[in-house]
Structure formats: C-alpha cells, structure tokens
Amino acid sequence: MGLLGPCWVKWRCVQKSAPQEMPEKWARAGAPPSWSRKKPSWGTEEERRARANDREYNEKFQYASNCIKTSKYNILTFLPVNLFEQFQEVANTYFLFLLILQLIPQVSSLSWFTTIVPLVLVLAITAVKDATDDYFRHKSDNQVNNRQSQVLIDGSLQQEQWMNVRVGDIIKLENNQFVAADLLLLSSSEPHGLCYIETAELDGETNMKVRQAIPVTSELGDISRLAKFDGEVVCEPPNNKLDKFSGALYWKESKFPLSNQNMLLRGCVLRNTEWCFGLVVFAGPDTKLMQNSGRTKFKRTSIDRLMNTLVLWIFGFLVCMGVILAIGNAIWEHEVGTRFQVYLPWDEAVDSAFFSGFLSFWSYIIILNTVVPISLYVSVEVIRLGHSYFINWDRKMFCMKKQTPAEARTTTLNEELGQVEYVFSDKTGTLTQNVMVFHKCSVRGRSYGDVFDVLGHKAELGERPQPVDFSFNPLADKKFLFWDPTLLEAVKVGDPHTHEFFRLLSLCHTVMSEEKNEGELYYKAQSPDEGALVTAARNFGFVFRSRTPKTITVHEMGTAVTYQLLAILDFNNIRKRMSVIVRNPEGRIRLYCKGADTILLDRLHPSTQELLNTTTDHLNEYAGEGLRTLVLAYKDLDEEYYEEWAQRRLQASLAQDSREDRLASVYEEVESDMMLLGATAIEDRLQQGVPETIALLTLANIKIWVLTGDKQETAVNIGYSCKMLTDDVTEVFVVTGHTVLEVREELRKAREKMMDSPHTVGNGFTCQEKRPSSKLTSVLEAVAGEYALVINGHSLAHALEADMELEFLETACACKAVICCRVTPLQKAQVVELVKKHKKAVTLAIGDGANDVSMIKTAHIGVGISGQEGIQAVLASDYSFSQFKFLQRLLLVHGRWSYLRMCKFLCYFFYKNFAFTMVHFWFGFFCGFSAQTVYDQYFITLYNIVYTSLPVLAMGVFDQDVPEQRSMEYPKLYEPGQLNLLFNKREFFICIAQGIYASVLVFFLPYGVFAEAARDDGAQLADYQSFAVTVATSLVIVVSVQIGLDTGYWTAINHFFIWGSLAVYFAILFAMHSDGLFRMFPNQFRFVGNAQSSLAQPTVWLTIALTTVVCILPVVAFRFLKLSLKPDLSDTVRYSQLVRKKRAQHRCTRRPGRTSSRRSGYAFAHQEGFGELIMSGKNMRLSSLGLAGFATRSGSGWIESLRRKRSDSPGSPPDKPLKGGRPPPPPHPSLRIPAQTGLRRRTKNRRARGWVRPCPARGPWGGSNLCIFLLPPTPTPGAESPCS
C-alpha cells in the first residue's frame, strides 16, 4: 500500500499539470508586461508567475506541486529500473553474459543451472532490499506530503495535505508550524505584517529572524479580503540561493518590489507569531530547501569500487587463461586430437583445430568463471547487513533520554566507516545542544560560578552539589540553575556592584517580554545568549518585566522600577557591543554597555586599570573553558552632555550620506571612559562528550572540519570549547576577504606563515596524500606547527572557485582544525565535494538540520543526529544516532571492525576461489585442453553456496581482532583503515598468489600420487571420479583449515559453521554418491559409489593430509614470522592484552587542568536591527504600549534601514581577524622549536603527559619499538554511560 500510495500521488500531480494551450484572453490590461511565457518544465523556466487565488491560471505553467519525492521507483517502474541498475554492476552483466554463453551447446562445459540459480538469487535478494529501502522512502515522503495545512480555497480555509498545496494558493500558518512551501508573506497577526521565524533547519542559525509583509498586503488580515486578493507575483525561477529573492507583486495595476525580507521559506518554523498568511510562490521540489538538498546519489564504498576494478582485472586474467588454454587446445587438437579422432571424432561444427581452440576458449571462460563467484556480492551484502544490525543493536549508542537507538539506515557503507579521514560537522545541534546557560560571571573583580564540591575542590561536570535556591523570588525561572551560592548572597546582602551588574543585564538588551498571566514571564529573545543573560538577572532578583518604546520596567528585588529608555545603541558586527542609555527614577542618566572584551576593554576609564587586570584574568579563564564572554560597563552622563549628544545623534541619523559612519562615531564618542562592572560567561552547552570525542578522533588521525551557518565568533568559540582549537595552536588564520584577490592573498599569507615556521619535520597533521602531486605535498610536508583556519562564507565562495580551490584545500589541509562559518547548505556540500575529489579520502558529514542535508548526501558517509525536531537530516543520512559522542564508537569500534572483517572476508574469498578454480587450469594440460572440469558439477555449484560460504560469513560478521575497549584506548588502531592497508591491490595479489599456490598443491600432489598408485584391492586409483573426489575433499579441508586460521575470534557460531560445513560436505558427498539417487536419475548422479569406495582408501587420506599440511604450514610460518618481525599495532595490542591480564593494570591519567589562554571568548549570536525595532515600537502590540498614536509616528523607516544594513553587511569592511583588538600574540618562544628537535620535543611532551609509555614487555617476537605509538588511554565517557 505504501508503495502504491505515493505513486498515485505522483500520477495525480502529473495529470493536474497536463499541458494546455494558453488562451489569448489571459493577456489583459494591468497584467505584467513581457507576456512571452516560457515552458517552465525541465529547468528552462526563466521567470515565474503566480496569481493568488487562481489555480486555473497557475496551472498553465505546470509548476511543480508541493509533493516531494525522494523515492526512486514506483510499482510499474520498479522491475525495469531496478534491473537496469543492477545490470550496471559489472559483475551482474558478467554473469548474464556467462549465462548466455552457457546456452550455446558447442561451448557449454557446465550445466546451465550452475550460473542461473545464483544469478537469479542474487538479483532477487538485491531487488527485495531495494524495494524495502524505497518503501521506507515512500513512507517518509508520504508522511511529509500528508502534513496538514490550511489553504484558502473558495473563500474559506480548508485543511489540505501539503502535497495538494499549489503555487498561487494562500495558506495560513500558525505558531510553531513548519512552513509548507516558499511563501510570500501577505499578512500576520503581529503589527505591520511582521512575523518571526526560526531558520535553523535551513541555515543552522538559531536566532530568530524577522520578516515583514509589504505594506499593501499587510492589511489583508481577514479571510474575505484575502479571498479577493488577486495579485500576481512575477519573480526569479527556482534557485538555491537562500538569502536572495527578487521579484515583484503586481496588484491593482501597480507594481511592488519584493525581496527576501518578504519571504518565508520552506523548512522555517514560525515563532512568536500567532498566525500569518502567505502566498505560495515555490512549491515542492522548487523550494529553496529542496533545491539546496542536492541529488540522491547512490553511494558506493571504496571497497566496492576496488572490487569492481578487481573483478575487471580478474576478468582480464580469465581471458588470459582462456587464451592460453585455447592455444593449448588448438595445438593439442592439431597434434594429437586429429589422430585421436578414431576414438572421438570432432564435433560436426568443428572443422579445424583452430576453431576447436576458439570454442574451447569460451568453454574455459565458463569453467573458470568461479574466480569471481556471484556469491561474493551476496555475501558482502549479508555481512554488511549483519554489521548494520550490530549498530542498531548497540546499547552503548542508545540514548536513554530520547529513547533513540543508533540506526544504520544504509546497509552498504559499513566498512567505509573504518576508513574515514575527514569529518565535517555541523555546529548547532550537533556539537552543541543549542542551549545557552549563564555559567559564570565576574563582578568587580570577583569571580562567581565555580562549582565546589563538599571538600572544597573544584567539581567537575556531573558531580554537582545542590543548585542555588531561588525561592525568595516569585518571578524566578524554575529552569534556571546556578551552583555558586555566594553570588546570591552578594545580591541579598545588597552589594551595590552586584546590583548594578544585574541591573545592567536587565536593562541592556533587546528582549521582549510577554506576561500571559501574572508572574508568568516569557522572554522573546532575538538570540539565545541574550535570553540567558536576562533570565539570569531575573532569577537574581532583577526581573525585566515589560517595556515600551520609551520605558523599561524592572522588578528590582521585589519593587517595580521604571526606567526611561533614552537610546539603544544597537549591536552590529563591527561595534561588537550594544548600549542603552536610561534615566532612572531619580533622574540620573546612565549608559549601560555590554560587548566584546576586545572592544570594550579599550574604552574603559583609566581609573579601572587594576580591576581591568583581574577581570582580564577571569575573562581568560572563561575563554579557556570555552565560555562565551561579554564585558559589562556603565557610565554616568550628565544631563547637558546627554542633551547635546542626543542632538548630534539625531543629526547623524538624519544625514543623507554615510549615515552609518556618522552614527558609529557618535556612538563611539559616548561609549568611552566607561566604568568596568564585570563580565559574564555563557556556556553554549556542548553535547555530552563532545571534546573527548573530538580529542579521540583527532588521535585517530581523523581531521574534523566544522561547517556552520553561524557567526564566526560563535563558531570559533565552540572550536575552543570542544577542544578543536587549543592553546597548542600556533596561529589561527582567519580568512574573511570579500574579493577574489583578498582571499587569495590571505590564503597565500597563511601558507607562507606555515612554511616560514622553522620546522622541517613533518608532523601528524600533514595530510596523507595518496596520490602525491608535487605542489601539494611540498607545502604539506613543510608545515610543522599546529595551525587552524577560519574562513567565512563569502570568502569561501571565492575559495571554492575552480582556480583557487586547490590552493584553499592545500592550506586547509595543512591546518589542524578548519572552521567554516556563515556557509550556506550548498557550500557545505561543495567543501565536502572538494575534499572528496582531490584528497581521495573518505569523508563523513554529520549534522542535524535540513541545512546539513546536502552535505550529508555529498559525503561518502552521512550521519544524522536524530531525536531533534527536524528529521530531514536523518532521512538523508546513512547513519543516525542522537549524540555526537556516539561517532567515536561508530567509527572506532563498528567502523573499524567492519573494515577489518570485510577485508579479511575479501582476502579469504578471493583466495578460496582461486584455489578452487585454478585447479581446472592445471588439469587443462592433462585433458587435452578439452574444458573438462576436475570436480563434479554439483560440487562446483555448491562449493561457493554451501561448503565454504557460512564459515567465511561467520568470520565476516563476528570477527574481532582486539576487544572494543582497546580500539577506543588506542585510536591509532584506526589508521590501517585510513591508509587502506588491509585490502588493496597488493593484498589482493597476495591472496591470489596464495590461492594459486594452494591450487597447485591441491592438483599436483594428488596427481603425483595417483599417477602410479593402485587401490588396496588392486584396481587403478587414478580413475577420473576418484581423482575428482580426492581433489574436492582436500580442497574443502584446506580452505576450512585456512578459514579456521583466519578467524581470530572463535565464537560458538564460528565453530558451528566451520565444523558444520565440513560435516555438510561429507553428508552431501555421500548422499550424491548414494545408490538411491543414482537409481532415480542415473544420468545425473554418475558418481555413484564413489565416496565410499575412494574415501576408504588409506592412500587417498594420506594424500589429503599431506596436501593440507603443505598448503597450510607455509601460511602459518609466514604469519608467525610477520608477527615476530613486523607486528602491526593490533598484534601488539593483542599481545599487550595478554600481558596485561597477568599484570596489574597500569593506567595513565591525563594532565588535568588547563593553561590560561590569551584570547577573547567573545561570541554573541546577535544581529543588528532589533534596537531600532524596539525604539520604534513596531514590534509591540498597541495594547501593550498603551500609546495609541505611537506606531504611526515614525513610518517604516526602520525596516528600510534594516534591509539596507542587511544588504550592506557583506560589503561592509571585513571583520577584524579574530584576535581583533588584541594583536596576535607573538609566537611563544616555547612553540618555536628548532627543526631538528621538533619531533623529539613533541615526544617528550607526550611522555610528560603520560602518552607514551615504556614498552610493556618484549613480545615473543622480540622487541619492536612500536609501543611509542600507543597513545593515551583516553577516558571514554561516552562509551559507557548512556546519555543523561
């Protein structure tokens, strides 16, 4: 039914948009000009027209409806499309070809069923799997398409499903609803047609944004008027630019320009707005969200690709063998066969030895095809499925709180999880919880907020005492928690500074309050930071109660105080501060300012120097902990000065040219010589275990890039708090250029800096170039310090252009950490694509929102954070779980094992099939190259399916080299996967060589014995059937022993399968050779009596035993030698495991504490414009203002200026580099290590931190210096504890 449902929907969509000729009458007066209507279908749309409330008209254009389709098939197309896709697999085509060959009687050397049965089986299994996958896609499409929305149809609101919403419809949205399509905002419940949206799904920004309807439509508040609305929108065709929209509304014979400010995009959520009406402009696949989500691509793992290459090679090899044998056949037929014709005349069709050779070529292709058995592909799928289930079943990746287990949504990528080199992470919702918490503060030189446990030690997270009791304050927010009681005591005692501190917090902001019931306060904050600060003030007794454009009412310790709001000096990116000027009831005028430390500390009164020093220390401490800091200051203004200043401000704001600059300088003037009050520290709360996970992944040589739509400061701050950026980082390069040249220059400078550093020894952070291009490596090898790169969205746009992308990549890869901020969803995908394309490395993208979808789809592996509000990311992802920290387990445990198992599986698989098949090749030389098989055809059919499949499957599913705890403790164990060491072309050749070696012995030892020997009853031993049974039996035993040797982890299942396979072999052998079957089908079971006769011969068993010994012992010897001479890390870990069992466990603890860093912790998720909004009173309900005529007073100038500022901001002077006011610190002398001592020093450092241990003990294989790689046993907090 699920399969059927959406296909009907689709059907309907298609029918509704059936092409129709456009009648002339549509061209009417007042209609927009340029009537040349283009076909909109298939991307040729040049312009979009949509008329409100006129479905008939809009249907002319065949715009896409609002139903989205991510599924691939429907019932009718499933079979042909799926088969077509499957036959694009090299292997499947190859088997089809073989099947056709086998149907030619002259060529056929095996029964047809040997190929067709497995082929059909494989195709069917894959088809079933694809069908289920697609079924779930249909289901999720259905779910989205069937969401309800209110559509204005025939003058009344009707509930419609999302998919039935058309371009031109007017729909009504209510608070907290998802926007169903890209809408033109017409009107809203708020004054002036304002409406607030959260765009986290689109761009990851969490602050609220404001949209406004154009004035003419904002009055269309009621349905009757809306129903009559017949404006026509003419706008750009669908595109993926989220921040751009150009178009015009034609209504009542006039034209109104439209911009992005008037648009509500699909994926946004309506906030703080009761309702709004919108006109659908883009629907379904045309929406910016869908346009940004990229195509659904079929992902393949690198092993898949390698396998396809190898299959091609094997095919080449097959052809070579075929040619050799065909030539042999031609010669043989010419020399011997012609004479032998007395006993066996040639086939009628064969007239020459040459032709016979030609035929035998094809015959041999059929016989030898088992080098690539079709069961390979099925087995690989089965193994991957098993691994996926292990991921789904993992309790350590289960989140108790959200009740979400980890989920492997794709079952084809598991082993690639063991090869990841680059992780691209979203910030908001992925690394952070998107919760801002007032964490610490410094008031007049005293720091509050440290948590002390009972013994007076600084308590770590998770062992906190009781939080502070705010019950004295009836207006306190119950959810607010603070642990340092001293601050509250200070407030209660009446410390004036503390009071002033919180007064500032309660006054200096742009938060709106709402009090639905008495005492039930709700704050509408533009940024969560600000909300956190005001909430903190509220709980400490300074409750921001309400505001009007001119006043702010605060409940200070229980008494209501109304301040007169004189001015808001708004925040912007350059000023990085905001101030308010208020007059208190006593009449004193005071300026309160909060802002970035880098800016504010320079504007303080010289008398505060001493306080400044202590506060700076606190700021550094906070910054070191990754907290987001703001400095608070105030200044008293006298009445005359203020009046005079207000005059100047008015003039500046009225100026025609360079108004911005003038205002800025006026602001600048008043915000000087301020008195320092203190600083706040807000925790942008990280998800649990994020720093530890990042540290562990870094140790595993995985590079983590953060790609976020958020602001630069915020992103950098998170970089610090999650330990991506540390104080070890020599320098952080910030690229914020706005032009190609600037960006190029900045990148060049960064590279030069890296090159300049006196180190020449490469370190662990050079990118692993698999395909060295001289230019790239030259830089990378020279880099030694630890650098970080921060790049802005607009710079990234230039950096990603074709001529600069390599430069950018090269620079970025030389850096230890890369943070891209303000990036669009598409840019995220482009960055991933860039690394994917040029680095030949496996990439993983992790994110939680719709803005991460394109990146998730582009990366080799996409991971979605589940349990959040939106599910787009999860739907697009390959794996999903609810906590970032689970990534370490997914990669280091599941990924690593999957890779290991898959590699071992493939090695063994190729080995066993070469050993199996090559025997035919050798036999060719003894049977006149006549394409006679050595084995019974049933053995050939069953060998891969029954006799040898289960043990290797069990190994592929269950094998473990080291216990899971070890792979977390020694992240270096992950490296073989990244370097592709376990299965590559070299390993493949080794497997093949081993297989061929086995085949030689399995054939020639019995040959040598049989040629002369006789049975114990005197009859000849060397009859064909006995030989076949002997070779087959020894082969089965040899490969079984070999799998026993390869299996590193013998569970009961492995035992069962290995012994079971052998038992089944003998059971089937005796059954096939039994009298009963022969009597029923004498022509099919011609080996009657063979098993019991042959296997009763001691010579046969001696031969089998010898073959096994000779095949296996060299392998054992080789492995043992390798283990003792060149052990790899997992061997060492395994060995140390043994040693450790015997000894007391010695654990190294990590160096606790952190050094203070000299950097700014400033970050503020705030945007310009709200100050003006507040002062104008535009966003306040008239009722709440109590000033009826107020709103009309100051026109809509603010929104114009707001819009202008927005559009200006990309062009505004670039943000100072991160280090802004503080000059970048000169490289610390200790960091400037002379080249030759660099490595030694590093090692020394590590040793000092307990990272490098003395070698545990010398293994039986002698001392190797491997222990130096044993990296710190990082505590893995995420591993054991379920997320709280």
Partner 1 sequence: MSQKYNPITWRTKMKKTSQICQSKLPDNTALKQQQLPAYRLQLSATGVLSGFFATGAFCLGVGIILILSAKSIKEIEIKYTKICANCAELREDAINFDKECTCSIPFYLSETMQGNVYLYYKLYGFYQNLYRYILSRSNSQLVGTDLKVRLYLIWYNTPFFKDQSHNGTPIAPCGAIANSIFNDTIILSYNLNSSIHMEVPMLRSGITWWTDKYVKFRNPSAINLSSAFTGTAKPPYWSKPVYELDLEDTENNGFLNDDFIVWMRTAAFPTFKKLYRRLNRVQYFIEGLPAGNYSFNITYNFPVTRFKGEKSVVLSTLTWSGGSSLFLGLAYTVTGSSLPGRNYRLSNNC
Catalytic residues: 426
1053 counts as binding partner 1 under rule CB under 8 A: yes
Q: Could you give the CA distance from residue 892 to residue 898 in angstroms, rounded to a whole number?
A: 10
Q: Could you give the CA distance from residue 174 to residue 554 in angstroms, rounded to a whole number?
A: 31
- Tell me if 78 sits within 8 A of 47, measured CB to CB: no
1281 counts as binding partner 1 under rule CB under 8 A: no
- Tell me if 707 sits within 8 A of 425, measured CB to CB: yes
1079 counts as binding partner 1 under rule CB under 8 A: yes
931 counts as binding partner 1 under rule CB under 8 A: yes
The nearer residue to partner 1, 39 or 1079, going by C-beta atoms, is 1079
For 1254-1280, letters b (16+ CB in 10 Å) and e give: ebbeebebeebebbeebbbbbbbebbe
State the nearest-atom distance from the C-beta of 303 to partner 1, in Å: 21
State the nearest-atom distance from the C-beta of 1266 to partner 1, in Å: 16
- Tell me if 981 sits within 8 A of 709, measured CB to CB: no
Closest C-alpha to 593, from 530, 545, 554, 635: 635
Residue type, 1095: L
Using CB under 8 A, pick the residue from 197, 283, 589, 1009 that binds partner 1.
1009
- Tell me if 196 sits within 8 A of 270, measured CB to CB: yes
Which residues neighbour 1193 within 8 Å (Cβ) at sequence distance 6 or greater? none
Using CB under 8 A, pick the residue from 201, 394, 713, 975 that binds partner 1.
394
Using CB under 8 A, pick the residue from 348, 640, 657, 1280 that binds partner 1.
348
In terms of Cβ atoms closer than 10 Å to its own Cβ (0-12, 13-18, 19+), residue 395 is exposed
State the nearest-atom distance from the C-beta of 1117 to partner 1, in Å: 6
**Piece of the chain touching partner 1 by CB under 8 A; list 680-688, 1072-1080, 1201-1209, 1213-1221:** 1072-1080
1092 counts as binding partner 1 under rule CB under 8 A: yes
Q: Could you give the CA distance from residue 570 to residue 593 in angstroms, rounded to a whole number?
A: 10
228 counts as binding partner 1 under rule CB under 8 A: no
1080 counts as binding partner 1 under rule CB under 8 A: no
401 counts as binding partner 1 under rule CB under 8 A: no
Residue with tokens 């979400």: 404
**Piece of the chain touching partner 1 by CB under 8 A; list 264-272, 481-489, 549-557, 1083-1091:** 1083-1091
1174 counts as binding partner 1 under rule CB under 8 A: no
State the nearest-atom distance from the C-beta of 958 to partner 1, in Å: 7
Closest C-alpha to 569, from 1162, 1169, 1166, 1161: 1169
Residues 145-164 that bind partner 1 (CB under 8 A): none
Count of residues touching partner 1 (by CB under 8 A): 101
Using CB under 8 A, pick the residue from 140, 564, 1051, 1209 that binds partner 1.
1051
Using CB under 8 A, pick the residue from 368, 1039, 1088, 1218 that binds partner 1.
1088
Residues 891-910 that bind partner 1 (CB under 8 A): 897
1096 counts as binding partner 1 under rule CB under 8 A: no
Record the tokens describing residue 594, joined without a space.
């909060």
State the nearest-atom distance from the C-beta of 686 to partner 1, in Å: 25
1011 counts as binding partner 1 under rule CB under 8 A: yes
CA dihedral over 482, 485, 487, 491, signed as positive or negative? positive
928 counts as binding partner 1 under rule CB under 8 A: yes
In 605-667, at which residue ranges do the beta strands (DSSP E only) sit?
628-637
The nearer residue to partner 1, 807 or 969, going by C-beta atoms, is 969
The nearer residue to partner 1, 473 or 1040, going by C-beta atoms, is 1040
Put the strands of the sheet holding 194-198 in their side by side order.
208-212, 194-198, 269-271
Site string for partner 1, 778-817 (x = CB under 8 A): ----------------------------------------
**Piece of the chain touching partner 1 by CB under 8 A; list 752-760, 871-879, 1097-1105, 1211-1219:** 1097-1105
1015 counts as binding partner 1 under rule CB under 8 A: yes
1119 counts as binding partner 1 under rule CB under 8 A: yes
Using CB under 8 A, pick the residue from 14, 124, 344, 435 that binds partner 1.
344
State the nearest-atom distance from the C-beta of 39 to partner 1, in Å: 50
**Helix crossing, 825-839 with 805-814: angle to 10°?**
80
Per DSSP bridges, beta strands 551-556 and 559-569 are antiparallel
Q: Could you give the CA distance from residue 34 to residue 45 in angstroms, rounded to a whole number?
A: 14
Residues 96-125 that bind partner 1 (CB under 8 A): 105-106, 108-109
Residues 506-535 that bind partner 1 (CB under 8 A): none
Site string for partner 1, 1203-1232 (x = CB under 8 A): ------------------------------
SS (H, E, C) 1140-1151: HHHCCCCCCCCC
State the nearest-atom distance from the C-beta of 316 to partner 1, in Å: 25
User: Dihedral angle at the C-alpha atoms of 310, 315, 320, 326, nearest 10 degrees?
Assistant: 160
Annotated binding site: which residue ranges?
426-428, 530, 571, 594, 628, 708-710, 822, 828, 848, 851-852
State the nearest-atom distance from the C-beta of 1273 to partner 1, in Å: 20
1089 counts as binding partner 1 under rule CB under 8 A: yes
Stretch (H or E) spanning 842: strand 842-847
Using CB under 8 A, pick the residue from 87, 275, 1007, 1066 that binds partner 1.
1007
CB atoms within 10 A of CB 308: 14
State the nearest-atom distance from the C-beta of 972 to partner 1, in Å: 20
1042 counts as binding partner 1 under rule CB under 8 A: no
Q: What is the DSSP string of 712-757?
A: HHHHHHHHHHTTSS-TT-SEEEEE--SSHHHHHHHHHHHHHHHHHS
State the nearest-atom distance from the C-beta of 1123 to partner 1, in Å: 6
Record the tokens describing residue 168, joined without a space.
């031109």
Annotated binding site for ATP: which residue ranges?
426-428, 530, 571, 594, 628, 708-710, 822, 828, 851-852
Q: Could you give the CA distance from residue 1114 to residue 1107 in angstroms, rounded to a whole number?
A: 12
**Helix crossing, 90-102 with 353-368: angle to 10°?**
130
Site string for partner 1, 547-586 (x = CB under 8 A): ----------------------------------------
User: Dihedral angle at the C-alpha atoms of 800, 804, 806, 810, nearest 10 degrees?
Assistant: -100
70 counts as binding partner 1 under rule CB under 8 A: no
**Piece of the chain touching partner 1 by CB under 8 A; list 203-211, 445-453, 906-914, 1260-1268:** 1260-1268
Which residues neighbour 719 within 8 Å (Cβ) at sequence distance 6 or greater? 706, 725, 788, 790, 817, 819
1128 counts as binding partner 1 under rule CB under 8 A: no
Q: Could you give the CA distance from residue 848 to residue 870 in angstroms, rounded to a whole number?
A: 8
1113 counts as binding partner 1 under rule CB under 8 A: yes
884 counts as binding partner 1 under rule CB under 8 A: no
Annotated binding site for Mg(2+): which residue ranges?
426, 428, 848, 852
Using CB under 8 A, pick the residue from 656, 1083, 1145, 1284 that binds partner 1.
1083
Q: Could you give the CA distance from residue 209 to residue 1167 in angstroms, rounded to a whole number?
A: 9
Site string for partner 1, 232-271 (x = CB under 8 A): ----------------------------------------
Using CB under 8 A, pick the residue from 14, 435, 993, 1019 that binds partner 1.
1019
State the nearest-atom distance from the C-beta of 1262 to partner 1, in Å: 6
Which residues neighbour 368 within 8 Å (Cβ) at sequence distance 6 or greater? 318, 321, 322, 917, 920, 921
